[in-house]
Structure 1
Amino acid sequence: MNASTASGGSPRPPAHSTPEALGAGSIIVDPVHPSGPAEQVRSQLAALIHGGVLPANAKLPTVRQLAGDLRLAAGTVAKAYRELEAAGLVRTGRAAGTRVNPGRGLAEPALIEAQVFARAAQAAGLNLEQAQGLLAVGWDRTGT
């Protein structure tokens, strides 16, 4: 898991969590992003779950561990976990910790297409925000 830049733009060193908890995924919190840190953590974890990076029954780091890794308040991460649980993406048990609920990953073809799009956007020199904007335009044009 990698943390982003701290306030003032100085880079943060990578923050690591247990490999079994987040696999190849990473969470980046941008302190100046308008959505706020809890929403950034929630949306990125949701994407990792939907994308299959965090498979069914994968154990997430404890709230304290992830908060420490990302240099966030524990309440911020707890809020993200509560929202993931309310959405049915994870379940929390005292002894078992927080785990990904089965059946929440997207079909493999959607993930493959997302990776193709991401590579094309990067090759075109787009940043993540620009690529997300482009995806939103494409989404709107599909008529759904």
Structure 2
Amino acid sequence: MELTVDQHSPTPPYEQLRVQVIEGVRTGALSPGDKLPTVRRLAEDLGLAPNTVARAYRELEQDEVIETRGRLGSFIAPTGDATHRQAQLAAVAYAERMRALGLPAEEALAIVRAALGIRS
């Protein structure tokens, strides 16, 4: 999978990279164990500062989408789609908090729909 950056996009370059890697995992274009380019190599190839690529990699690692193995490099994590797992954990935490606040399920769902910009 080739990573690209649109210099004219309002989305910051690190976020463009992060989203592309996550989408690659979701679609199967990137599989567990696939090696990502080094920070320096990808920064060079895309004409970015190394810190920009490093930030994308750090955020992907925090989300457990990739893992860094020291000098061996960064790889797609073997845990599958960590993004969905993180979303499920957030949903469970949200549901528990809404129950603790005594909000009915429909009201809690309405809050989520509004936050996502979904009109019902």
Quick check: TM above 0.5?
yes
Q: How would you bin the TM-score normalised by the shorter chain?
A: 0.5 to 0.7
- Mind listing any 5+ residue stretches in structure 2 that lack a counterpart? 83-116
**SS of residue paired to 1:56:** coil
- In the TM superposition, what whole-angstrom CA distance separates every residue of 1:32-73 from its partner, at most 9, and x where no partner exists? 211111100111111112211111111101000111111111
In the alignment, structure 1 residue 80 sits paired with structure 2 residue 62: no
Query: Is the Cα–Cα contact under 8 Å of residues 52 and 105 in structure 1 kept in the other structure?
Result: no
Match of 1:94 among 70, 88, 91: 70
In the alignment, structure 1 residue 47 sits paired with structure 2 residue 23: yes
CA distance in 1, matches of 2:81, 2:64: 12
Instruction: Look up the match of 1:22.
Output: none
- In the TM superposition, what whole-angstrom CA distance separates every residue of 1:2-35 from its partner, at most 9, and x where no partner exists? xxxxxxxxxxxxxxxxxxxxxxx22221112111
In the alignment, structure 1 residue 26 sits paired with structure 2 residue 2: yes
CA drift of 1:140 comes to 4.1
With the length of structure 2 as denominator, give the TM-score of the two structures: 0.64
Query: Is the Cα–Cα contact under 8 Å of residues 36 and 73 in structure 2 kept in the other structure?
Result: yes
Q: Which amino acid aligns with 1:67?
A: A
CA distance in 2, matches of 1:95, 1:29: 25
- Mind listing any 5+ residue stretches in structure 1 that lack a counterpart? 1-24, 107-138
With the length of structure 1 as denominator, give the TM-score of the two structures: 0.54
Q: Percent identity?
A: 41
Q: Which amino acid aligns with 2:62?
A: A
What's the Cα RMSD here? 2.0
The count of corresponding residues between Structure 1 and Structure 2 is 86
